Amino acid sequence: MTGELRWFWGVVLVAANLLNAYVAYGAVVIRPQGVWDEHTLTGIEVASALAVVLGVVITLLALVPVRQKVLSRWWLADMLGLPEALAPAR
C-alpha cells in the first residue's frame, strides 16, 4: 500500500510543481509593450500572485505525505528555496 501511495503523491506533487513552474515562467517571460500596457501588467501581477498561492498550497499539500511518512523530507526541499536559486537574475 505504501508503494501505491508513494506513486500517487509523487505524481500529484510533480504535476503541481510543473504547473507552478509554468505559471511563474509566464510571469517572468511576459514583457509589456510599455508603461501604458495595463492589460499585460495586470496579467503579470495575476500570474505572480497565482504562483505564490500555488506555492503555498503545494507546500501544505506536500506536508501531508511527509507527515504520514509516505514520502521523505526531501520532497519539501523544492518548496524551501530551490526555485529561487534557479531563477534568472534581473
Task: Provide the whole-model pTM.
Answer: 0.77
* Pair 60, 70: CB distance under 8 Å: no
Residue 81, SS3 per DSSP: coil
In the chain, pLDDT over 70 holds for what percent of residues? 83
Of 29-33, 50-54, 78-82, 86-90, which gets the smallest average pLDDT? Answer: 86-90
